[in-house]
Structure 1
Amino acid sequence: MARTFPLHTHVLALALGLVLLVGGLLAFIGQQLAGNMLSAVAEDQSLRINREVRGSLYQLVQPADMALRLLSEDALADAATLEERLRRLPAARAALAGSAALSSLYVGYGDGQFFFVRRLAGEAERARFEAPPQTAYLVQSIDRDAGGALRGRYLFLDAALGVVAQRERTQYPDAFDPRRRDWYRDAPQDGELLVTPPYPFFSDQQVGITLARRAGNGSAVIGADIRLHTLGAVLARQKVTPGARLVLADGDGRIVALDDASLPVAAPDAPDARGVQRLQHLQDLAHPAFRGQGGLIAEARAAPGGTLARKRVVDGEVWLLSATALQMEHVDASFVVMAIPEQELMAGALHQRNVALVITVLVLCIAVPLTWLLARQIARPMRALAAEAEAIRRFNFAPVGAPRSRIREVEVLGETMGGMRQTIRRFLELNTAVAGEPDFDSLLPRLLGETLSATRAQGGVLYLATDGHLAPVATLDGEGHPLPDTASWAATDAEAGEWMHARPPGQIAQAARALDALGPLLGEALAARAVRSAALTDADLVALGLQAQANALGVSQAIAVPLINRQGELVGALLLLLDAPADDDRLAFISALSGLAAVTLEARALIAAQKALFEALIRMIAGAIDAKSEHTGGHCARVPELARLLAQAACEAEQGPYADFKLDDNGWEILRIAAWMHDCGKITTPEYVVDKATKLQTLYDRIHEVRMRFEVLKREAELRCLQDILDGADADARKRLRDEELVALDDDFAFVARCNQGSESMADADVERLHRIASRTWTRTLDDRLGLSHEEAARRQAAPAALLPHPEPLLADRPEHLVPRRTDECFAADNRWGFRMQPPRWRQNLGELHNLGVRYGTLTEEERYLINAHIIQTEIMLRSLPFPRHLAGVPEVAVSHHEKMDGSGYPKGLRAEQMSPLARMMAIADIYEALTARDRPYKRGKTLSEALSIMARMAREGHIDPALFALFLRSGAYLAYAQRFVEPGQIDAVEVDALLDGQETGQPA
């Protein structure tokens, strides 16, 4: 099962989760928005820097261009000698003064002469040229001497343009020819401005650009050098973050300016043949952000608008790279490249995020205990409802004072839970009350009364359906009293029993109504098979005969409830009378209740029908046993009555061992069933054994066969007499011998016939005489194996057939008279039944001498066992039945009526302490009925005094319970039974005190 948590924990977790989620989302979104904003800002900054650099570059180029325009028209362009040119120095100085970036102005002439004016702004520059300290300008000149040869000179001028020093540079003309320089060759003929790509200047290796414009004479070209180192300062001022790097590169990716002036722009390699240092490429920079970015400028040149932006991660650090084209007239495209560390760019956003997280944590610190308290407060009613639900689960429906809640759903749930508790409680109380009513006749008003109580109705009528009618079988008001003038409506016990046993009665009650004459309300409910509620109309009251009752109760509304069983059959109906219309809740409850009522009625009817069926089967078996023999008929029916009288006497005893003896309904049912079934095993006992009145009786009385043998002997005596006379013997003497022999045979047969009756005990002399008589023989001339059953023929196979004619004894015990016992009729000493009876060797012994020699009665040992074995079959049969728990004692009571208090009885040899009081009662009832019965073929019924004298002796000898026998006598139960079932001639005076002298001892087990 998944782990669960309390509601307040869920509320707290939800609140915390929402706070964290919202805080996290706000921080994340804020960070993303800030990042996007800063990225946009970075892009704007890139464009702004581009504009700033472009503007700075324009400010560098524009004054120089203006100076070139003026000088191109100045006499300097046409000056042929150095002196002429020096006279135009003020104009050159004015141009240099107009732009700080303008480092030099020069003029290249078509004949190879060159005039170069440089401003020496600092000691470093003066030192580089070894200029005197007061030098402000340097003039580098290549002019022609008087002979026309080119010569080189350096003139050092002060601020007033006065010559401070002059030096000859003889190698200068050979090393430098202006006509071979790009700015000279590429200067447009039309006088347009030429701007060279950035390059290190030959003179000082500073990176800059050259502006050149051809003079009006077409042969001279005026040029100006602009140092671009000032752009580095511009880049440095435009840095977005401390760690950002700004680079100005040309269209080939060569570095023109850096934001850090301390870093060299020129490559560290050796200069080329012209002495020009190569510029570093972007990818040559040591900065990690530019590592491997040689193609960045080419990508930017190809990008729309000449602008490219990307992110790259270097050594775990994210950099934002951008390259923006710098477009300017006359100037080749350059690119401002910017690298910004994202961490620095996002520092503000991250700070805001951290601040938001701190605020979120502070909110959580405040919200957690507050939310916890509020959640527990919210969950308190839910916990109370959970406790109430748990109580309901344990079937504890005691009212629970659940706290009210301001949450509507919780409040509604609490009200619903309370209603559910009340509904279930009422339903279970009704179910318990109805289920606890064992009597069907009492169940009907009980069911109606509990229904009225549960539904708070003012009155009601319970109807049962039968034979197309509804009959009112119970009527009650809200107080549980019968409705006025309805006493005749109640069904009688017999009529209710008829319905209960599903036997259609002629008329259950006088007020029965046909199903089509029940009035609108009840008729509609039955037709729809559903609960209906409506106002009572005159038609309803008249049809149901309830006018007076409705007026007495003051009711105007009614609920009609059809009772339908599980098979969809109508078993009855409820009519509940109300003083106000019923709400939906009550109708729903009544609808559910109707199912319980219908099932209860059906279940009780089924139980009653099963009990009736079981009762009928019991009586059928008992009747079959009694009908098996006309001589024992009624025994199984009389013993239950006798046992009931004795048990009733024991229950009413106020003193003696049975003063505390009581029987509940289950005990009475056990006694009744056991009494009816106590001899059910006799159904397996051979009929001739039950009815055996003579010793030779089997399926017929074999005395007739013996008599025929005597007749044969008598005929043989007559024949022998006649034969002897024919042979010459004295006729008179022979006839006297014959007559004597016939008299002896008649006397012997009369003796055998008396022995066969078994009415007197056999003495040893009688047995010896039987054997002497049996020694007589008669002649058999026919085969005695013809026409036999296969079983008897099989028994005769043990001995060979005799040759005919064959002398046969008059009486004999033959091998074929012995019927072997089946193995399943023998029980081991430890058999599961506990039987202690030892069966004889033979199942039957039909021997004539064996049967006639029985000393007492007519039954042989084998037949006596067959009679007694009925109790074994009774035990086996009853133990095989699935008795319910409350009837589990039936077999013990039924099979113990042949047990004796001293343990000498059968089939188990139980002693007094092992026998229940009911079993002892059964023993007395069985004996008394057997002694007084008048229908036994082997004896006459004894008088009461004779029977009770025998039983008194049995009590003294420990065969029956003496205390129970005394109760049997003193209560008069023996006489009450005799007056109903014993012949008047058998009822005589009984001296109870004499019979009980010294016997009223003992106690029930």
Structure 2
Amino acid sequence: RSQAQKTLVGEHSIASYVCNTGELLNIDNAYNIPKDAPYHFNPASDRSLGYHTLSMLTLPLKDKNDKVVGVLQLINRKTDHNTILKTMTDFGRKVLPFDEQSQQIALALAGQAGVAIENGLLYADIENLFEGFIKASVLAIEARDPSTAGHSFRVAEYTENLARAVDHNDSRIHKNILFNTEQMREIRYAALLHDFGKVGVRENVLVKAKKLHPQRLELLQQRFCYARACIERDAFRKILTLQSEGNPGDKEFSRERKIIEDTLNGECNRLQNYLRMVLTANEPTVSYEEIEHQLNELTEYTFPDETGETTTLLHDFEFADLSLSKGSLNPSEREEIESHVSHTFAFLQLIPWTSNLSMLPDIAHAHHEKLDGSGYPRGIVAEEIPVQSKIMTITDIYDALTAGDRPYKKALPMEKAVDILSMEAKAGKIDKDLLKVFIESKSFQIEPAAH
């Protein structure tokens, strides 16, 4: 019975010689090789296996360009292929040199093996090329939003871990879920590319950390400065008018001037408080309910501009953004962010996937769907969502919750993230059985890696 063995190929070994020269070697007795030959037989393998090598036929395996891609070595041609060589007598009587017919058969076999190896190497090269393209694409997308760097790679690892755990799970619920090697590759690629559609989202929306865009906040702060300047100008005009009409030395003048100055100070303090409130309201963690009274009060605040016309301090669209109850995105921006899933699907559909990767676009398309139909972009329900997507939904949410601090949120510890996922499962949003496997298998444990 033949057994596969790994043997180190020395610089002057028979296999090394054939590999370097491309020549065939037919040796009758490996222990009688002339000492001046450019190759030698190493009996270490014989000693370790309790074997005895006599005849050897070593041939180069070549590709279509006549480049050596491997070596085929046949050992001990037997008088009868059913013979099992056990004793030294067996080796002496039942081992023959390789004749011309054996050599021709081996050459034909070597030719086919060389082509097979070349095809295998070519397939591996194509896979490596494609893997490199995918990784480069992911890095390019994540470069647009550095705060989420590494997200797609981590989600791919979590997803592979969970898919593998489900595949090995013996519970009644998961016993029919089996992923072969090709399907595992499909899941990995889908996870790596699940956010590729963010290329179609405007960068200022993609990286928006606060309720107001930085430029909008800067304009609003300048408007506060302008309002203060207008109020101060108006107060100084009143003081000048008072001075021109009255006697600066009498008590009435001093009293009127103090009223004007106190009013000015009060308005400046009021503006300062309003600005502090705006900066607080601008944080995505601050809900509208917390600042409702002050924000509504600010919408009613007016001041006289340089022409004397009454001007509001806060515009309607600014109020709408600052009054968001959760997060930093207004409805139109959230819709744009959510459109990345449709962009991803459209992009992935353009690629002529092989049959073993044909489900990849559908898997990525459904990673934001929820079992109760409350997800996006299509609002499909459990039965319509591929199990691979259900797996990715869990891992994507987990990473979003636990990833390093982003401008708009703090990273949560694993325990808190699992609690949130459990609440989602209890609410019928994500698959509770898959979540159970995710937790029990600790699929969230991955090694930090540089990509």
1:180-219 maps to which residues of 2 (within 5 A)?
Answer: none
Query: In structure 2, the residue corresponding to 1:946 is in which secondary structure?
Result: helix
- The TM-score normalised by the length of structure 1 is 0.38
1:885 pairs with 2:355: yes
1:937 pairs with 2:407: yes
1:708 maps to what in 2?
222
How far apart are the structure 1 equivalents of 2:226 and 2:418? 49
Deviations 1:465-494 (A, max 9, x none): xxxxxxxxxxxxxx42367xxx551xxxxx
2:234 maps to what in 1?
720
Select the residue among 24, 39, 42 that pairs with 1:543: 39
1:754 maps to what in 2?
280
CA distance 1:943–1:860, shift in 2 (3 Å)? same
2:2 maps to what in 1?
480
CA distance 1:913–1:592, shift in 2 (3 Å)? same
1:638 pairs with 2:164: no
Select the residue among 438, 444, 449 that pairs with 1:977: 444
Letter aligned with residue 849 of structure 1: F
1:567 pairs with 2:65: yes
Select the residue among 872, 875, 890 that pairs with 2:342: 872
Greater strand share, structure number = 1
How far apart are the structure 1 equivalents of 2:320 and 2:97? 91
Query: In structure 2, the residue corresponding to 1:738 is in which secondary structure?
Result: helix
1:812 pairs with 2:315: yes
Letter aligned with residue 296 of structure 2: E
Letter aligned with residue 886 of structure 1: N
Native 8 Å contact 1:752 1:770 kept in 2: no
How far apart are the structure 2 equivalents of 1:547 and 1:951? 61
Native 8 Å contact 1:779 1:808 kept in 2: no
CA distance 1:779–1:584, shift in 2 (3 Å)? farther
1:961 maps to what in 2?
431
CA distance 1:957–1:602, shift in 2 (3 Å)? same
How far apart are the structure 1 equivalents of 2:12 and 2:124? 25
Letter aligned with residue 280 of structure 2: R
Deviations 1:541-568 (A, max 9, x none): 7714345668954524x43422221223
CA distance 1:751–1:570, shift in 2 (3 Å)? same
Greater helix share, structure number = 2
Measure how far apart 1:875 and its partner are: 0.9
Query: In structure 2, the residue corresponding to 1:573 is in which secondary structure?
Result: strand
Select the residue among 736, 741, 765 that pairs with 2:267: 741
How far apart are the structure 1 equivalents of 2:137 and 2:265? 57
How far apart are the structure 1 equivalents of 2:348 and 2:36? 55
Query: In structure 2, the residue corresponding to 1:727 is in which secondary structure?
Result: helix
CA distance 1:570–1:655, shift in 2 (3 Å)? closer
Deviations 1:695-733 (A, max 9, x none): 111xx3432221121112112222222221111263222
How far apart are the structure 1 equivalents of 2:415 and 2:25? 71
2:118 maps to what in 1?
602
Measure how far apart 1:884 and its partner are: 1.5
2:83 maps to what in 1?
none
CA distance 1:734–1:707, shift in 2 (3 Å)? same
Query: In structure 1, the residue corresponding to 2:146 is in which secondary structure?
Result: coil
Deviations 1:84-135 (A, max 9, x none): xxxxxxxxxxxxxxxxxxxxxxxxxxxxxxxxxxxxxxxxxxxxxxxxxxxx
Letter aligned with residue 959 of structure 1: K
Measure how far apart 1:644 and its partner are: 2.8
1:568-717 maps to which residues of 2 (within 5 A)?
Answer: 568-577=66-75, 578=77, 579-697=95-213, 700-717=214-231
CA distance 1:693–1:481, shift in 2 (3 Å)? closer
Native 8 Å contact 1:778 1:810 kept in 2: no
| Count of residue correspondences | 410
Letter aligned with residue 223 of structure 2: R
> How much is the aligned-residue C-alpha RMSD, in angstroms?
3.2
Query: In structure 2, the residue corresponding to 1:631 is in which secondary structure?
Result: helix
CA distance 1:687–1:542, shift in 2 (3 Å)? same
How far apart are the structure 2 equivalents of 1:513 and 1:875? 56
2:88 maps to what in 1?
none
- The TM-score normalised by the length of structure 2 is 0.80
2:325 maps to what in 1?
855
Measure how far apart 1:583 and its partner are: 4.3
Deviations 1:528-552 (A, max 9, x none): x565646564258771434566895
CA distance 1:937–1:949, shift in 2 (3 Å)? same
Native 8 Å contact 1:694 1:701 kept in 2: no
Structure of higher RCO (CA pairs closer than 8 Å, 6+ residues apart): 2
How far apart are the structure 2 equivalents of 1:516 and 1:943? 56
Native 8 Å contact 1:762 1:855 kept in 2: yes
Letter aligned with residue 216 of structure 2: R
Unaligned runs of 5+ in 2: 78-94, 244-255
2:257 maps to what in 1?
731
Letter aligned with residue 719 of structure 1: R
Query: In structure 1, the residue corresponding to 2:300 is in which secondary structure?
Result: helix
* Fraction of identical pairs, as percent: 27
CA distance 1:684–1:540, shift in 2 (3 Å)? farther
1:346-365 maps to which residues of 2 (within 5 A)?
Answer: none
How far apart are the structure 1 equivalents of 2:218 and 2:173? 55
1:772 maps to what in 2?
300
2:416 maps to what in 1?
946
Native 8 Å contact 1:626 1:634 kept in 2: yes
CA distance 1:952–1:517, shift in 2 (3 Å)? closer
1:784 maps to what in 2?
none
How far apart are the structure 1 equivalents of 2:59 and 2:303? 91
1:505 maps to what in 2?
none
2:380 maps to what in 1?
910
Native 8 Å contact 2:25 2:58 kept in 1: yes
Measure how far apart 1:771 and its partner are: 2.4
How far apart are the structure 2 equivalents of 1:563 and 1:653? 43
CA distance 1:806–1:581, shift in 2 (3 Å)? farther
How far apart are the structure 2 equivalents of 1:482 and 1:875? 45
Measure how far apart 1:980 and its partner are: 6.1
Q: Which protein has the larger Cα radius of gyration, Structure 1 or Structure 2?
A: 1
How far apart are the structure 2 equivalents of 1:691 and 1:779? 37
How far apart are the structure 1 equivalents of 2:41 and 2:142? 52
